[in-house]
Copies of this chain bind each other. A is one copy, B any other.
C-alpha cells in the first residue's frame, strides 16, 4: 500500500484493510510518502529546523489523533462528529489501528526522500517504523499480489 495522504478518511481505510489482510495471514507493507508521512508522526519538533521546515511542521498534524477528515471537516465539527460516530460503533481509533498493525507484523515504511525534503526527523516518527526510498517501495510492490494507493 502506498499512502500519500494524511487525512483520517484516507489513512483509516488503509489500516482497516491492512489489518484485515494481516489477520488472514497476508504479508502487508505500507509505504508512507509525501503528506502520508504525517500519519506516522508522534510529535512535532521545531528546534534545528529552518524557517520553511518550521512552517510546514506547524501546518501539518503532529499525531494521527489530531488528523482531520478531507471532506465536511467544517473547522473540526465534521471530524469530531465522525470520530464520535466511530466510537459509538466500536470502531477502533486510528492510533489503535496503527499500534495493532505494527503488533501484527505489518511493515510500515517512511519515505526518506520526503523526510529529507520536509525536514522531518526520525525523532518525530513513532517507534516500529522502518525507513526506505522509492527503490524499496518498487521492490515490495513488484512482489505484491495486491497494490493499493490511498
- Chain A contact residues, CB within 8 Å of chain B: 2, 4, 9-10, 12-13, 16-17, 20-21, 24, 26, 33-35, 52-53, 55-56, 59-60, 71-72, 81, 84-86, 89, 91, 113, 116-119, 134-135, 137-138, 141-142, 144-150
Residues of B within 8 A of A35 (CB): 9, 71
Nearest residue (CB) in B for A118 is B85
Nearest residue (CB) in B for A71 is B35
10 additional contacts (CB under 8 A) given A26-B142, A52-B81:
A2-B13, A2-B17, A13-B33, A20-B137, A21-B138, A55-B81, A60-B72, A89-B117, A141-B146, A148-B149
Distance (whole angstroms) from the CB of A149 to the closest CB of chain B:
5
B137:A17 contact, CB within 8 angstroms: yes
Q: For the complex formed by this chain, how many copies does it contain in all?
A: 3
**Can you report 24 residue pairs joining A to B where beta carbons are below 8 Å apart?**
A2-B148, A4-B9, A13-B33, A13-B34, A17-B138, A24-B135, A24-B142, A26-B138, A26-B142, A35-B71, A52-B81, A52-B85, A56-B85, A59-B72, A60-B72, A85-B118, A85-B119, A89-B113, A89-B116, A89-B117, A141-B148, A142-B145, A144-B146, A148-B149
Most buried by B among A60, A81, A117: A117
Give Cα A81–Cα B119 distance, bound, in whole angstroms: 13
Residues of B within 8 A of A85 (CB): 52-53, 56, 117-119
